[in-house]
Amino acid sequence: MGARTAAPGAPGLGRGPEARTEPVRWLSRRFPAFCSMDDPSSSETDDAPSPSAPDAPDEVNPWVVRFFLILAFGLAFGIEGMTLVRSYLLSGEGESKTAAEKQGAPTGARGPQASDAPLRIGDDLLPATDVTERVVEMQVRAQSSGPWTFRLAVAVDNRTDTPYRLTLRALETDDGTVLDERRTATWPPGDSTRFRAAWPMGADARPQSLTAEAQLQYAADSTRTVRRRISFGHVPVQMER
What integer pLDDT is reported at residue 28 of this predicted model? Answer: 63
Q: Are strands 183-187 and 164-173 parallel, antiparallel or unpaired?
A: antiparallel
Domain ranges of the chain: 17-45, 106-240
Q: Could you tell me which residues are beta bridge partners of residue 183?
A: 168
Beta strands in 84-236 (DSSP E): 113-114, 132-143, 148-157, 164-173, 178-179, 183-187, 192-201, 207-219, 222-231
The CA distance from 107 to 40, in Å, is 121
CA distances from residue 217 to 20, 39, 110 in whole angstroms, order as listed: 141, 123, 17
Q: Cα 31 to chain center, whole Å?
A: 88
Q: Evaluate whether 211 touches 90 at the Cβ level (below 8 Å).
A: no
What integer pLDDT is reported at residue 32 of this predicted model? Answer: 59
What integer pLDDT is reported at residue 20 of this predicted model? Answer: 55
With H, G, I as helix, E, B as strand and everything else as coil, classify residue 166: strand
What fold is seen in the domain 106-240? Immunoglobulin-like (2.60.40)
Cα distance from N-terminal residue to C-terminal residue, the chain: 166
Q: Evaluate whether 233 touches 207 at the Cβ level (below 8 Å).
A: no
What integer pLDDT is reported at residue 103 of this predicted model? Answer: 36
The CA distance from 159 to 153, in Å, is 19
Question: Which of the 8 DSSP states describes residue 4?
Answer: P
Instruction: Spell out the per-residue pLDDT of the chain, length 241, in tens.
Output: 444 445 455 555 455 555 555 655 666 666 655 555 545 444 444 454 444 444 545 566 888 888 888 988 888 888 888 888 877 777 655 544 433 443 333 434 444 444 568 899 999 999 999 999 999 999 999 887 778 999 999 999 999 999 999 999 999 999 889 998 899 999 999 999 999 999 999 888 899 999 999 998 887 778 889 999 999 988 999 887 6
What integer pLDDT is reported at residue 86 of this predicted model? Answer: 78
What integer pLDDT is reported at residue 36 of this predicted model? Answer: 52
What integer pLDDT is reported at residue 116 of this predicted model? Answer: 65
Three-point CA angle 109, 113, 119, nearest 5°: 130
Q: Does pTM surpass 0.85?
A: no
What integer pLDDT is reported at residue 137 of this predicted model? Answer: 94
